[in-house]
Amino acid sequence: MSVVVPECCDDLKRERGRCLFNKEELTNILDGGPKLTEKRRRIEKMLINTPELFDDVSPDYLSHEDRYSNELRKATQLMTTLEKNGFTYNDAVTTGTGLWLLMDGNPLSLHISMFLDTIKGQSNPQQLQEWLPLAEKFKIIGTYAQTELGHGTFVRGLETTATYDSTTKEFVLHSPTITATKWWPGALGKTSNHAVVMAQLYLGGKCYGPHIFMVQLRDLETHRTLPGIVVGEIGPRLGMNSNDNGFLQFNHHRIPLTNMFMKHSQVTEDGKYVKPLHSKLSYGTMVQTRVGIVYHASRELSRALIIAIRYSAVRHQSEMVPGDPEPQILDYQTQQYKLLPHLASFFALRFSARALLEVFIGTSAGLGSGKMNMLPELHALSSGLKAVATNDAVKGTDICRLACGGHGYLSSSNLPRIYTAIAAGITYEGENTVLFLQVARYLIKSFRASSQGQTLPFSVSYLRVQPPSSHAPLMSDRGLVDALGAGVRWMVGEAERRLQQLVDSGHSPHAAWNACSVHLVQCADAHTRYYICEQFVDAVSKLGETVSSGVHEVLRQLCRLYILHRVIQTAGILLRCGAVDGKALTSIEEEECHLLATLRIQAVSIVDAIDIKDVFLKSTLGAWDGNVYQRIYEEAQKSPLNKSDVTQGYYQYLRPLMKANL
Ligand SMILES: CC/C=C\C/C=C\C/C=C\C/C=C\C/C=C\C/C=C/C(=O)SCCNC(=O)CCNC(=O)[C@H](O)C(C)(C)COP(=O)(O)OP(=O)(O)OC[C@H]1O[C@@H](n2cnc3c(N)ncnc32)[C@H](O)[C@@H]1OP(=O)(O)O
Ligand SMILES: Cc1cc2nc3c(=O)[nH]c(=O)nc-3n(C[C@H](O)[C@H](O)[C@H](O)COP(=O)(O)OP(=O)(O)OC[C@H]3O[C@@H](n4cnc5c(N)ncnc54)[C@H](O)[C@@H]3O)c2cc1C
């Protein structure tokens, strides 16, 4: 399939004619450099030239089984195409391209992410040597099986047991109750023949907590389920229904001793336990996936924004001035207010995802040499950013849908599918409220440590009781970010005060924690957003030295909008702690409205620079040419109900009803 870039409609031509910055330069920044843009485009070209990767029929018109088979067909084709052309699966993931072709629930996504990552991150050298080549070449296909019917969040509460039998040097895996059934893992139902399984380790009658085991589930020749294992698919879900999320039960199923992942903790042949350097090292795959999800959420949000902003430039509705031609809906301030702060969020998340990845890489390198001290900070940052990124992507995507009016509700807009896919991100890989509470624990601990004079890690250093006096004027970017920091400091101080007050009045620390948890979640959210603001300001100011003035100006405006919007959202707190006053807020609100109008002028060009091709957007509303109505009409013709003028349903139900004597 070759892509011919069509002439765009007059509205979009006019929009693009107003561009005052170098789009390619902005694209390079978003990709992480010109080389990465070039690589992404090579991958895209290769994928676009593989017609088997594209749907002939929308998954909406397929049966549950055909939908799965079709996605599996494309997923396997994607993997072989990448392999043959010298790319890795990771390339397709990190560029987003592979995901966009398969984001109806790719049945190989868990294999190429959490299964492979667990093998890489949790194996000892022998295990790595044995399993990695098999997994990389798809000789074994796996998933990450942790969540159970009874417990997802509370990993320590999992019920699946792995009991060591030193006489045979085996673990016996067992699901003692219905609630111990593994439930949810992607690709577990029908695709995977292996799984990495989280189970409670029992040695000599003593429980050592959750540990990870490599378990074969199906015969490698016949694909039949092995004895002692019950496995199946869990049925339809809100979205991503082309995946085979599954269930799994063990009935005293035996696996060799060597199938416990032994990089961090070990069990000896005679059943002795060797503990890890840090008790949460076995949660490493979850942390790594959370880092990936921040990127993933920003990419999905960007797809929705491209669709909604292009559509808003093409769609004309009502009269702004009586008797005048109908304006583009993007000219309405309320439409700008719906979309442009989310456009700013996309950029903020992209820069923060990059900063988080650096922390992840630094911490992982430290772990390699036995340094565990950065782990709590990585856990807090990855938890907070995963939660904010998915919350904002879900909210932003739905706003994009709403901003497209009725047509946003059409499947062919692709907004419903983007929404339902990213909506799962709020829940999977750590439910967001739960992750925020982890961040809050870290904040309270840090606040208390700081009160005792201890030095704080970089991401929380602003919580110091005596902050360095800020010299930045309040209305500058730095000044406003400092004000936001003062707000978080006040919130955390307030949370700590309330916790202490409850404990002093006789509550247990745990009861006090629960009684303050709404406020604690707000602290965690505010802290993470403060971190995001800092990363955005830093990134834009660093780029200022290297990019052209047009691009720098656009980035500066987006960053400013993000900060102003955040200040307005936090107004109540900032007023209470005295970081801003009413007069400042009024001028911030006015400036935001002014900025919306400024950014509106180049909004289409900004989303063009995100550079996602039509074949990956898959939207009747968001295509490059803006030929919206023709595309919507043509998609409707593909409905199976339009194959005949009169449907079977007419003869079966409608006609008898019309003929009945009611
Ligand atoms: C195609 C895909 C390719 C690539 C992937 C890349 C991007 C993703 C892109 C797309 C995704 C698309 C498809 C994938 C779809 C779905 C995949 C989904 C998979 C899953 O959902 S897997 C299951 C995930 N489950 C969870 O996340 C469970 C959440 N629960 C927990 O993590 C923990 O139990 C909890 C709640 C954090 C902690 O529980 P608890 O409070 O009971 O504490 P503990 O006693 O356990 O902890 C005490 C102590 O330890 C600290 N701590 C906890 N966790 C960590 C950690 N990970 N690291 C460091 N420290 C940790 C905790 O804070 C306490 O510290 P303190 O005592 O306060 O000092
Ligand atoms: C599409 C999808 C794909 C998934 N893929 C996988 C996979 O591949 N592998 C896998 O193992 N799992 C997978 N999961 C499972 C997922 O990780 C869990 O659903 C998730 O961790 C949440 O756990 P839960 O469902 O038990 O929710 P619960 O923990 O029961 O949450 C329900 C409610 O209780 C609240 N709550 C729970 N604990 C607390 C607390 N301590 N404090 C305050 N509030 C609390 C939550 O905030 C939430 O509002 C997937 C889930 C989905 C939806």
Of 147, 514, 519, 525, the residue with max ligand 2 atoms within 8 A of its CB, to mutate for a pocket test, comes to 147
Distance 284 CA to ligand 1 centre (A): 8
Res 464: pLDDT: 86
| Cα dihedral across residues 31, 35, 41, 44: positive or negative | negative
Q: Which residues contact 126 (CB under 8 A, 6 or more apart)?
A: 258
Q: Choose the residue to mutate in 151, 431, 517 for probing ligand 2, maximizing ligand atoms within 8 Å of C-beta.
A: 431
pLDDT (tens digit, 9 = 90+) per residue, 285-340?
Answer: 999 999 999 999 999 999 999 999 999 999 999 999 999 999 999 999 999 999 99
**pTM more than 0.90:** yes
Atom of ligand 2 nearest to the CA of 240: 1
Distance 134 CA to ligand 1 centre (A): 27
249 lines ligand 1 (CB under 6 A): no
In angstroms, rounded to a whole number, what is the distance separating the alpha carbons of residues 354 and 385? 11
CA of 604 to the centre of ligand 2 (A): 37
Give ∠ CA 592-295-79 in degrees, rounded to 5: 145
Residue 99 has pLDDT above 80, yes or no: no
Same CATH topology for 142-276 and 285-460+470-608? no
Q: Which residue has the tokens 């006789």?
A: 506
If we measure between CA atoms, which residue out of 123, 111, 113 comes closest to residue 261? 123
Q: Is the pLDDT of residue 603 over 90?
A: yes
Nearest CA to ligand 1 atom 4: 113
pLDDT for 91 equals 87
> Phi then psi for 328, rounded to 5 degrees?
-65, 140
Q: What is the DSSP letter of 148?
A: B
297 in contact with ligand 1, CB cutoff 6 A: no
Residue 163 CB less than 6 A away from ligand 1 = no
For 28, 55, 98, 100, 105, the CA distances from 44, given in Å and listed in that order, are 15, 16, 9, 11, 20
C-beta 438 within 6 A of ligand 1: yes
Right CATH for 285-460+470-608 from 3.40.50.300, 3.30.9.10, 1.10.10.60, 1.20.140.10:
1.20.140.10
Residues near ligand 2 (Cβ within 6 A)? 110, 143-147, 151-153, 184-186, 240, 245, 424, 427-431, 433-434, 437
Residue 388 to residue 382: CA distance in whole angstroms:
10
How far is the first Cα of the chain from the last one, in angstroms, to the nearest whole number? 56
Mutating to test ligand 1, I would choose from 88, 101, 155 the residue with most ligand atoms within 8 A of its C-beta, which is 155
CA pair distance 148, 160, nearest whole angstrom: 8
The whole-angstrom separation of Cα 98 and Cα 181 is: 31
Exposure b/e, 554-585, CB count within 10 A at least 16 = b: bbbbbbbbbbbbbbeebbebbeebebbeeebe
DSSP 232: E
Element containing residue 207 per DSSP (H, E): strand 206-216
Is 584 within 8 Å of 474 (Cβ atoms)? yes
Give pLDDT, residue 208: 98
- Residue 376 CB coordination number (10 Å): 18
Nearest atom within ligand 1 for CA of residue 295? 7
With a 6 A CB cut-off, is 285 part of the ligand 1 pocket? no
Determine the Cα–Cα distance for residues 283 and 430; give it in Å rounded to an integer.
Answer: 11
Q: Which letter does DSSP use for residue 316 in this model?
A: B
Other beta carbons less than 10 A from residue 547's beta carbon: 20
Check pocket membership of 363 for ligand 1, CB cut-off 6 A.
no
Rg (Cα) of the chain, in Å, rounded? Answer: 27
Closest residue (by CA) to atom 45 of ligand 2? 434
Q: Average pLDDT for residues 26-54, to the nearest whole number?
A: 94
Task: Give mean pLDDT, residues 176-192.
Answer: 98
Amino acid at 5: V
Alpha helices in 424-505 (DSSP H): 432-451, 477-504
Query: Could you read off the pLDDT of 518-531 as tens digits, one per residue?
Result: 999 999 999 999 99
CA 415 to chain centre: 16
Cβ of residue 428 lying under 6 Å from some atom of ligand 1: yes
Buried b vs exposed e over 611-628: b needs ≥16 C-beta within 10 Å?
bbbbbbbbbbbbbbbbbb
Measure Cα distances from 360 to 288, 367, 382, 386, 535 in Å. Answer: 8, 10, 8, 13, 15
Q: What number does the ligand 1 atom closest to the CA of 442 have?
A: 68
∠ Cα 81 85 89 (to 5°)? 60
Does residue 284 have a known ligand-binding role?
no
Mean pLDDT over the full length of the chain: 95
Of 2, 4, 1, 8, the C-alpha closest to 624 is 8
What is the model's pLDDT at position 104? 86
* Contact criterion met (CB below 8 Å) for 18 and 605: yes
Q: Is 414 exposed, middle or buried (0-12, 13-18, 19+ CB in 10 A)?
A: buried
In CATH, which of 1.10.579.10, 3.30.450.20, 3.60.110.10, 2.40.110.10 is domain 142-276? 2.40.110.10
User: What are 84's two structure tokens?
Assistant: 């043959």
| Ligand 1 nearest atom to the CA of residue 441, by list position | 68
Asked if residue 1 has pLDDT above 80, the reply is no
Domain extent listing, the chain: 142-276, 285-460+470-608
Catalytic residue positions?
Answer: 429
Parallel/antiparallel/unpaired status of strands 142-145 and 182-183: unpaired
Pocket test residue of 91, 109, 112, 357 for ligand 1, highest count of atoms within 8 A of CB = 109
With a 6 Å cutoff on the Cβ, whether 278 touches ligand 1 is: no
Distance 304 CA to ligand 2 centre (A): 25
Q: What's the pLDDT band for 6 if we cut at 50, 70, 90?
A: low
Q: What is the pLDDT of residue 75?
A: 94
What is the reported pLDDT for 471?
A: 76
493 is in an annotated binding site: no
Q: Which long-range contacts (CB under 8 A, 24 or more apart) does 124-133 make?
A: 124/261, 124/262, 124/263, 124/266, 126/258, 127/214, 127/258, 127/261, 127/262, 127/263, 131/214
Element (H, E) at 229: strand 229-233
Ligand 1 atom having least distance to the Cα of 155: 34
> 99: Cβ below 6 Å to ligand 1?
yes
CB atoms within 10 A of CB 229: 18
Q: Tell me the pLDDT tens digit for each residue of 61-76.
A: 999 999 999 999 999 9
pLDDT for 266 beyond 60: yes
In this prediction, residue 7 carries a pLDDT of 83
Residues in Cβ contact with 468 at an 8 Å cutoff, skipping those fewer than 6 apart: none
Which residues are CB-contacts of 552 (< 8 A; sequence separation ≥ 6)?
Answer: 540, 543, 544
Ligand 1 in reach of 113 Cβ (< 6 A): yes
Report residue 469's pLDDT band, with 50, 70 and 90 as the boundaries: low
Ligand 1 centroid vs 76 CA: distance in angstroms?
29
CB of 186 shorter than 6 A to ligand 1: yes
Give pLDDT tens digits for 105-132: 899 999 999 999 999 999 999 999 999 9
Centre of ligand 1 to C-alpha 283, Å, is 6
* Of the candidates 90, 75, 102, 114, the residue with the CA atom closest to the CA atom of residue 36: 90
Cβ–Cβ < 8 Å for 158, 151: yes
Highest averaged pLDDT of the listed ranges 1-10, 298-307, 465-474: 298-307
- Average the pLDDT over 162-176 and give the result: 98
Higher pLDDT, 280 or 469: 280
From 291, 438, 441, the mutation candidate for ligand 1 (largest count of ligand atoms within 8 A of CB) is: 438
446 lines ligand 1 (CB under 6 A): no
Q: What is the DSSP letter of 111?
A: I
CA of residue 418 to ligand 2 center, whole Å: 20
Instruction: Report the atom number in ligand 2 closest to the C-alpha of 186.
Output: 8
Sign of CA dihedral 222, 223, 225, 227: positive
Q: Quote the ligand 1 centre to 251 CA distance (angstroms).
A: 27
C-alpha–C-alpha distance, residues 99 and 105, integer Å? 9
Closest ligand, as measured to the CA of 186: 2
Does 156 contact ligand 1 (Cβ within 6 A)? Answer: yes
